[in-house]
Amino acid sequence: MRRVVDHLHLRGATTFLRGHEQKRNWLFKVYVVGPLESSSRDGSAAVSSLDPLMPLLPRSLSRTALRAQLDAKFWTSYLPGGRTSTTSRVNFIEAAPLVPTLRHLASQDETARAALDACAFIVVGRLESNKVLLQHGWALYGRALCEVNRALQHPVKSHTDGTLAACRLLSFFEALRGGDNSDTISTQGPAWGRHVDGTVTLLDHRGPEKHNEIHSHALFLEARMAAVIAGVVNRKGAALSSGSWRTVPWQGSERTLTDKLFDVFADVTHRVQEQDEFNHRFIHVSRNNIASFTRQGRDLLRRCTKTGLSLCMWEEKAIRRCAEATQYQQQNTSAMPGLEEVVMSHGFGFFELVMQYCIACTLHYTRTWLLLRRLTSQCSVLDPGIHPIPSPERYAAIITQHCSHYFEPDGGLLGAQQAFIPMGIALHYYAATGQVDSPEMDELIRVLDGYKLASLTGDFLRSAATSDPVPESIQGDVFDLVDHVRIATHFFRPEEGVA
């Protein structure tokens, strides 16, 4: 059992800066920046440019050249092989569709440029174990926060794509910077969540009609995905998922498989929130009101099974797209390949989309089965029209069997960034269902211990479980077996007494 205590403890971690673990509040608020060295003679808090690095540079390498060099290293590490994106043959699914937009806007907008500089310095510094680059990355992060806050206070700049891109790059910084040192749980998870919340607020101010153009639409789609992931982490209904946000940004363009999945995935987060609220009320309901609450539970179960049916329909459509892409001709659709057979066959973008689908299914079906069990403990007969609920075991297994692909050379930093939610959900699932000694848990641990870039994923998983906005019942140290089982159990069963 002890082996699981260290299942996220990753050997060979790089050296991190100490002293920047101060709590920072930003985005529409006054904030405190991490450790910076002022370059002003009067001792003010002005952030320096690249001057502190000049003595370390070859004479032929200017500040501009250094920036370009680190920028290239960052993007090459993010998507190896010099690619700006990778496109699947299935429905034009891209692995990193936002990258061309971020690179373009960073070349045009000083606020986005400052945020990209911070990412490039901190990530390259970590990958190369370079303390100077790491320290300067933190200084540039402070500068980027200043730039973003100034832009948000400007009546024009607050609505530009460049400012929105800077907000997304700041969340990249937190997702990719890694932990602070081997002894302290970092603040990166909560900080990432605050950047996502800030981006959502900025999108709300802009309005859905501002996201039809190529770059603004790409920024909206990526922020929408981040909002859904934040909804999973916080067990709250995802923002940007109702009303005009589901229609207006797509005017003049066709919805893809990705768009349709995140429509349903957003619904899953709202079902989770409704289940939490129902369970909390159910525990305190009086005997006189039990019949009324049971009816409410049946209504909720019908909504859950309807969302589950939408997930099944998405899977069927994805399989058909795969068949069309490979010219698979078969009259009997029941003989179509299963999701397990095609997940690795259509590029990294499609692989990542299937993994996101498996997150939604594992979370939704586990919670729906628990709701069903609770209701059947109160009444023996349920609505016969309720659609059958698939087992979540299949989807957790798909994540487990294929998660190592995130850390293969083609995955780069993108893979490490995208892996934390599917692997976190799978780890929680096996911990919550009494399978901490299972082969599946062994495989997840092996992957986290066996790949260099998995340290980024492990650091983020640990940090994301430690503090607000994560609900208190699922906060704790996932390095500790007992704590992890408690967290995982409450993640799927949020209230004591749930069957």
| Lowest pLDDT segment from 174-178, 328-332, 418-422 | 328-332
Mean pLDDT, range 233-247, rounded to an integer: 92
Cis check: omega of the bond before 80, within 30 degrees of 0: no
More confident residue, 24 or 51: 51
Average pLDDT, integer, range 9-38: 32
Which of the pair, 38 or 264, is modelled with greater confidence? Answer: 264
Q: Which residues pair with 94 in a beta bridge?
A: 87
Which segment, 68-72, 117-121, 239-243, 382-386, is predicted with the most confidence on average?
Answer: 117-121
pLDDT, position 470:
75
pLDDT on residue 28 = 31
Mean pLDDT for 35-55 is 39
Q: Over 90: is that where the pLDDT of 484 sits?
A: no
**Looking at residue 171, what is its pLDDT?**
94
Percent of the chain residues past pLDDT 70, beyond the cut: 78
Q: What value does the mean pLDDT take over residues 453-476?
A: 84
pLDDT: is 360 or 15 the higher one?
360
Confidence of residue 64 (pLDDT cuts 50, 70, 90): confident
Its pTM stands at 0.84
DSSP state of 247: T
Section 204-226 average pLDDT: 95
Is residue 56 scored above 60 in pLDDT?
no
Mean pLDDT of the chain: 81
Looking at residue 383, its pLDDT comes to 63
87, β-bridge pairs? 94
**Whole-number Å distance between alpha carbons of 342 and 398:** 11
* Section 426-449 average pLDDT: 94
In this model, does residue 251 exceed pLDDT 60?
A: yes
pLDDT of 334: 54
d(Cα 48, Cα 139) in Å, to the nearest integer? 8
Helix or strand run (H / E) with residue 2: helix 2-5
Average pLDDT over residues 371-375: 85
Report the pLDDT value the prediction gives residue 379, as an integer from 0 to 100: 65
Report the pLDDT value the prediction gives residue 462, as an integer from 0 to 100. Answer: 87
Residue 367 has pLDDT above 70, yes or no: yes
CA-CA distance, 98 to 214, in Å (whole number)?
10
Tell me, what's the pLDDT at 36? 33
The span from the CA of 226 to the CA of 197, in Å, is 9
pLDDT of residue 464: 85
Tens-digit pLDDT profile for residues 90-107: 766 788 889 999 999 999
Is residue 143 within 8 A of residue 187, CB to CB? The reply is no
Per-residue pLDDT at 481: 79
Tokens of 57: 């540079």
Q: How confident is the model at residue 480 (pLDDT cuts 50, 70, 90)?
A: confident
Name the pLDDT band for 323 (thresholds 50, 70, 90). Answer: confident
* Alpha-helical regions (H) of 326-411: 339-342, 347-376, 393-402
Residue 381: per-residue pLDDT: 56
Which of the two residues, 8 and 159, has the higher pLDDT score?
159
Q: Are 492 and 432 in contact (CB under 8 A)?
A: yes
B/e letters for 13-46, b = 16+ CB within 10 Å, e = fewer, are bbebbeebbeebebbbeebebbebeeeeeeeeee
Per-residue confidence (pLDDT) for residue 26, from 0 to 100: 34
Closest CA to 400 of 437, 355, 434, 431: 355
DSSP 8-state symbol, 436: T
